[in-house]
Amino acid sequence: MAVERIVPGTIEWQAYYANHIVRYQFAAQVLKPLNVINVLDAACGVGYGTEFLHKRLGGTSIVSIDQSKEALSIAQATFASDGIHFMVDDCHTLLAASKFAPFNAIVSFETLEHLPRPLDFLKSCFQNLHHQGKLIVSTPNQLVSSPVKLNWEFHEKEYKAVELYQLLESTGFTNIQLYGQQFNLKGKIKNELRADLHRLWSNPFIRLGRFLQTILRGRKFDPVLKETEDDFEIVRFKNAAEIDELGLQGPFVLIAIAEKK
């Protein structure tokens, strides 16, 4: 079953937190030298990335929106802090967030693929940015994530690098830089071993044994070879075509930095 978001205290949180937080680490590295004072985190989920940015950017005011009241209730209970404003909003319009605009930067990770009208979202971002404001977005690389057909229940559409570039360019953004998140050597080795272990544990006798341990002993199993932050690297590419030419060997997440001029 597809996972729409990761939530503290779940096995999905243990398994995938590192994969997600490295994108916020990247955003913090980009924005820290710019001394931004007003940032929007669009489609923030449960808010762990908002809290991370708030701490790394030295108390910058962050407006953090999501359409899910359930996710925002977790965010408010777990990651609330002075200078963070969690609120319900629609990414297509950014109507609630616009009351705090203009923003020095907008960050939005793993959002575009969920939206029926991605151009409306990007236009709203453009309208709500300061002159020379930065947009940092990420989305799965379709050539890796869904090379044959769309594999994810909650995704409307996934994008190739050229398509992502064209979306940003068509909404007025300039100075578009493309990056990719991928496993480094250590991460690749762990990922291959993890796949081998998953195949082994799919054996019905091993599955039965693990099930009985869970029922009779109350044992909880941690994720197999849990991902850690140092399993990943984010690298810059010369252009979108260079990424697309890599196909399945390319980065699994596309990241773009764009500017409003």
DSSP assignment of 70-109, as one string? HHHHHHHHHH--TTEEEEE--TTT-TTGGGGPPEEEEEEE
Number of Cβ within a 10 Å radius of residue 139: 27
Report the alpha-carbon distance of residue 27 to residue 109 in Å, rounded. Answer: 10
Report the predicted TM-score, pTM, of the whole model to 2 decimal places. Answer: 0.90
Q: Which residues, listed in sequence order, are joined to residue 182 by a DSSP beta bridge? A: 233
Q: What is the mean pLDDT of residues 230-257?
A: 98
- Cα–Cα dist 192/197, whole Å: 9
Best-predicted range by mean pLDDT (3-12, 80-89, 143-152): 80-89
| 205: its two tokens | 């006798």
CB count in 10 Å sphere of residue 20: 21
Mean pLDDT along residues 44-72 = 96
Contact 141, 253 (CB under 8 A): yes
Place of tokens 């997440």: 253
In three-state secondary structure terms, 150 is coil
Nearest alpha carbon to residue 190 among 221, 230, 152: 230
What is the rounded average pLDDT of the residues 170-197?
Answer: 93
Average pLDDT of 130-145? 97
Euclidean distance between CA atoms 8 and 6, whole angstroms = 7
Alpha carbons 3 and 153: distance in angstroms, whole number: 9
33: preceding bond cis by omega (within 30 degrees): no
pLDDT band at 1 (very low <50, low <70, confident <90, very high): very low
Structural domains for the chain = 11-183+232-259 (3.40.50.150)
